[in-house]
Amino acid sequence: MKRTNRIITHVIRIITLMACTLMLFGCSLGISGNERVVHAPEPATLEIEGSYSYLSVVPLEGTVEISESDYKSLTAYFDTKEARVGSETVKSPEYKVKLVNVFDFLLNRYRLNPSRLNLKDGEMEVYDISTENKSFYQVFSLEKDMIGIIQGKNFIKLVRSGDAVPTTEKSSGAAPEMDMAFDSSSKVISYQPKAGVLIGLKSERTKDEGTAYRTLWIYSNGEFQDAYEVRDILFPRKEFMLLSVQRYIEENKVFESLLIKPAGRQVITENELGTPVVTAERFIDVGFVGNDYIGITQGTSISKADMSLPYQKILAVDNYTEYRGVNITEIAGEEGMEALKSSYESESIRDSSLETKGGSIGNLSESLAMERRNGHWVLTARLNSVREPAKDYKDITVSLIPPAKLVTYDELQVSWSRIKEMVPEAKDVINAPGNAFVIVRTPRYLIMFMYDENMNLSVRPAMTIAVDEDEEIIMAEWARGDFVDRWTETASSAGVKVHPEVSVKDN
């Protein structure tokens, strides 16, 4: 009996020891959810481990010519003890690995078109490399033995050349430039403490009153911050303009028309009312406002589910009364059309129902809109079903950075992840040119955080302004330097002063 007890005790000890070993092994891999973390110097599998040499380079902006001779000597090496790209090296790196969709990741994170980089749609592994809490590079595992990195404003492909230990000699290839896309704090930028922004807001449509619009002018002169509110949408061109949606009811039919006029003008002529003849019931919502283009949705009926309108288009301000949607080639050239085709093909693979809707690229190319997502403007196209266009439609994200014709400034110096750390309920963020401040949108507030001259972002809000949860940002037009005083004068004469809250309450 004693012998049997000793055997049972021995077996229990072995099982306990094995369980502990398995737990320790799992911890050494740092496995958590869908993200795998490889810590040095524990013996864990690193799929990209080894040496790499230059394969090709693609510019990320426009048609800039690149001298490949500057990159042909570029090499890279990765293991759990060291990571090197060109002449840049970090010791004891940490690798965080995540599986992402190529199309969605490059568009949302870097606002890049995968087809421009000759990448196939699908999934890929992305390695975030860091050391001592500082970002180094992000490596894309593209195909077998092929990786990609972004250095400066170029996308570089490298191919595996072996598993040899890296040489200690410095590469004579590309200049040792840290990738600015991953560590925005390292950017060389000019600090300008004086800046302001006109933020256009659209409320949710109501059945009886339609949609309401207003503009907030929020600014900092370097010493203090202030804000004004203007009814309708105040936006700058050669002179300040006011955009509104005029509502008429004739014979129990609702007719809505766009009206754009110089700010401050009291007299409205018949021509300024757009199309005066009421031929059918029509509703209009404004979803985007820029200097030269505005985005609208329209229809003769309103969705009972979400009060939305079925047709969308972007209009040129100069001839907005024609209500003719511009073609994507008018604002983004042939590159825009290629991006639209590629985006449609990628979406068709993921959503087979697109083919059943019918339609054509020609119709899609004139059914455009601009939306806010994670601190940036994103271009979309709407595919309306041939059978029931007013009821059945699908929005497709176009993998293209909105051109300067649509948005003159849309930069974000602080990462979206950093914003979410500061304000977990953040829905959007806009960054002042010159980095005077950022404004974070939460469900109920616009919160201003200031930068200092060393580009450190304060964690204490400088100003908070209450907004309705159903309000949507449809415009962000910036001024800096001496223009701030001129814009303040216009906003103060056209609107009323806002009394912001001094603390982030209930947020």
Least trusted range by pLDDT, from 68-72, 99-103, 180-184, 313-317: 180-184
Q: What's the predicted TM-score (pTM) here?
A: 0.66
**What SS3 string covers 3-14?**
HHHHHHHHHHHH
For the residues 387-397, what does the mean pLDDT come to? 89
Predicted local confidence at residue 260, as pLDDT: 94
Q: How far is CA 106 from CA 129, 364, 418, 426, 439, in A?
A: 17, 22, 19, 21, 24
Would strands 253-262 and 283-289 be described as parallel, antiparallel, or unpaired? unpaired
Q: How far is CA 178 from CA 66, 136, 150, 188, 466, in A?
A: 18, 7, 10, 11, 39
Residue 376 CA to residue 417 CA, distance in Å, equals: 14
* Range with top average pLDDT, 187-201, 260-274, 332-346: 332-346
Q: Does position 416 have pLDDT exceeding 60, yes or no?
A: yes
Beta strands (DSSP E) in 176-232 are: 195-202, 213-220, 225-231
CB 136 within 8 A of CB 92: no
Q: Give the model confidence (pLDDT) of 307-333 as tens digits.
A: 789 999 999 999 999 999 999 999 999
CB 232 within 8 A of CB 202: no
Residue 458 CA to residue 498 CA, distance in Å, equals: 23
Amino acid in the structure at residue 404 = A
Of the candidates 200, 201, 98, the residue with the CA atom closest to the CA atom of residue 417: 98
**Percentage of residues of the chain with pLDDT beyond 90:** 42
Tokens matching residue 384: 């309306």
Tokens matching residue 438: 């950022």
Tokens matching residue 448: 């201003």
Task: Determine whether 10 is exposed, middle or buried from the number of CB atoms within 10 Å of its CB (0-12, 13-18, 19+).
Answer: exposed
* Averaged pLDDT of the chain: 80
Instruction: Look at the alpha carbons of 331, 332, 333, 337 in this order and tell me if their dihedral is positive or negative.
Output: negative
**What SS3 string covers 347-395?**
HHHHCCHHHHHCCCHHHHCCCEEEEEECCEEEEEEEEECCCCCCCCEEE
Predicted local confidence at residue 472, as pLDDT: 96
Q: How many CB atoms lie within 10 A of CB 120?
A: 12
SS3 at position 60: coil
Non-local CB neighbours of 340 within 8 Å, separated by 6+ positions:
328, 361, 364, 365, 381, 398, 400
Q: Give the model confidence (pLDDT) of 33-79 as tens digits.
A: 344 444 443 435 788 999 999 998 888 765 566 777 778 888 999 99
Residue 422 CA to residue 426 CA, distance in Å, equals: 9
